A and B are shown apart, each in its own frame.
Chain A
């Protein structure tokens, strides 16, 4: 119940803030619609038609009433339903983000484990340095570099456009590779850093020494025991990455001309298409909230001690951080 309340509150806050920001940023959708024939009178008429001359609160409540009943309205020109637009665009974004996340996890966990096992070696230093660089490099810059190398110079992969996996799997695989790498590299770097540091810590602990003393093979020690203990920070960072990936699509979809909700929000912002911006933010906020919920559930699966009672949960967190009360 408490969780449901917090979800609703977060959604309402996100939409209020977006609504407010749209009104604060100068630029009038009526001007964008009036275009080259704009006269002050025509702009005023369009504003009245769109209801933009009503008080802020009235406009917001009107939108909220629609949203609650599942109606996100139409584009500001009224030529498409916001739900339809999001429905058209969301699959591209979700499939791209999923591949980017998979890339981040595979590369990040692999590099993090390799570095932790060779703690203090040159390989460890190299992974740490590359990971630091990976976190720092902007994804659009990386996108442009890999486009030049793999798209234009080597001609291996396409540099623009997208296909959906259920429409043309081969085309999708070709189109998703470069943007997923550009989008997932920072996440891979972050995961590598977190996994390395958590695993180094766990590998020093007594129970690992015991397992080793018992003659358990290295693979079993690392993957069955150490990683299980190091997986809480991994789950946390993966959860955070999902939010970052959804944000990152705004830039990456523009760089690779991918028709997803990231590029939709850029187009809508340029045209001051308030209903679409509002709808996309609403859906994105919902996705992020659901992701956080899923992460919490995974916590409980990974570590059953994370349970129902908040007081106990706080104690567990302290225990996980090694704090003695």
Chain B
């Protein structure tokens, strides 16, 4: 939930020592740190665990490319905005669902209408600006929008683009989530809730080249240490749920491969801007200026992360180049802003954080840094669901230190975080400067132009210090040494395409 609040862009990979020629075969055993919230993609609401499994079962209309920040073709071969409110996409020929029905324009139109309808769950919000969808050819879909929304191709790379089989859904709407049917590279076999998910390769997949394992088994773990042990012992052979603190030790272990890269996973401090003292932008700005993010990265993410000066990473198309410079640590200015706001003698703030050892460690680094300007942080490690309720419903804390990763559509992320109705936006008021820039970005289909407006939105967020970015966490994947082909996914929603197991 909070793990999907923030940011967007590129990634650098460290090689996992790939050797030999990719070959089909074997069972890929993936250790998950959480169970998927649902196999029905439009009802899913969780982060990585949902996507890793759902991307395997459901193919998407487009694919987010985290290196360029743009979207690539997938089930949709091409698309265009004939005007800012008319989106036309052409589907590739030959794609089919696991039940044999074709992925054609009618199937996609049904899916889009289903996803934005009353049974659409979270996808309703993603597709709120869709007015109608119509099959204008066997493989052509025309989408009319209520207002300009050029972020739609990015949205279609996520759960709102995971086309479901209409035949399978209508046969058993209630049971679809227990027996999902999509058009992805793997077919659903079985699920023992909270324990294990089994998939097998879909032999009629439209793009069989990069799909190597015969089967995929996802096992759900509760303990991060158990995941590491299971990888080291070879019982599991892939996990994306590894803490930075374990990377050095794993890298020295010849039985495992570690792949790291940069990600959009942002450590951030949410502030309750609806009450004193954080309703004062000077105080928020002072907190930002007091943070030495380079030191934080070294101390808390074991040097693997990157300083976060704005809501999006610096290589994101939405990142404004000026912001990093403006946010360099400046204790004198921070103290003077605190004094100007009437808190020259210091102020006490309560900060919620999650209960894991690493999150508490990070919070303690922040505590030490903010103490320099007289801010006394009372750290309250709190279980996630409870912390969200305390911070955003009860509003009983001043700060909430959490991590969040962007959706593919940066604009969508801005809307979900700073929109007037967003639960995580305290107070629940619209920020005209941010939302105007977002509307301008959504009104142009020219990517360069769109990015310019998104950068302006990022500047508006930083100007008001609406959120306190701290550092971007690394992407980390650990495999047994026989597994190759893992790609860095900066939004931490990795697909299993290209992964193969050495015989």
Contact = CB atoms under 8 A, between A and B. Distances in A.
Interface stretch (B208-216, B415-423, B456-464, B466-474): B415-423
Contact of B236 (A37, A88, A160): A160
Interface string B37-52: 1100001011100000
A38 B226 contact: no
A38 B423 contact: yes
A170 interface: no
* Main SS class of interface, B: loop
B5 interface: yes
A178 to B, nearest CB: 11
Q: How large is the interface on B (under 10, 10 to 19, 20 to 34, 35 or more residues)?
A: 35 or more
Given A33-B45, A160-B236, 13 more contacts: A25-B386, A27-B389, A36-B407, A40-B421, A75-B193, A79-B178, A88-B193, A147-B229, A160-B221, A254-B222, A254-B226, A257-B219, A257-B230
B4 interface: yes
Contact of B385 (A160, A267, A272): A272
B385 A27 contact: yes
A263 B45 contact: no
Contact of A267 (B1, B35, B38, B177): B35
19 contacts: A27-B389, A28-B389, A35-B4, A36-B45, A37-B125, A39-B423, A79-B177, A88-B193, A159-B230, A159-B235, A160-B221, A160-B226, A160-B229, A161-B235, A255-B225, A257-B220, A259-B194, A259-B196, A270-B385
A39 B422 contact: yes
Given A28-B389, A38-B1, A255 B421 contact: no
Interface stretch (A59-67, A111-119, A150-158, A217-225): A150-158
B383 interface: yes
Contacts of A304: none
Interface in B159-184: 177-178
Nearest to B255: A152
B4 A36 contact: yes
A80 interface: yes
A183 interface: no
B424 interface: yes
Interface of A: 25-29, 31-41, 43, 75, 77, 79-80, 85, 88-89, 144, 147-148, 151-152, 155, 158-161, 254-257, 259, 263-264, 266-267, 270-272
A193 B312 CA distance: 61
Nearest to A33: B45
B423 A32 contact: no
Interface of B: 1, 4-5, 35, 37-38, 43, 45-47, 122, 125-126, 177-178, 192-196, 219-223, 225-226, 229-230, 232-233, 235-236, 383-386, 388-390, 392-394, 407, 416, 419, 421-424, 428
A111 to B, nearest CB: 29
B479 to A, nearest CB: 16
Nearest to B385: A27
B371 to A, nearest CB: 28
Contact of A31 (B195, B385, B422): B385
A25 B387 CA distance: 11
Nearest to B232: A152
Contacts of B423: 31, 34, 38-40, 43
B70 to A, nearest CB: 22
Contacts of B192: 88, 259
Contacts of A36: 1, 4-5, 45, 47, 122, 407, 416
Contacts of A25: 386
A147 B233 CA distance: 10
A26 B424 CA distance: 17
Contacts of A148: 229
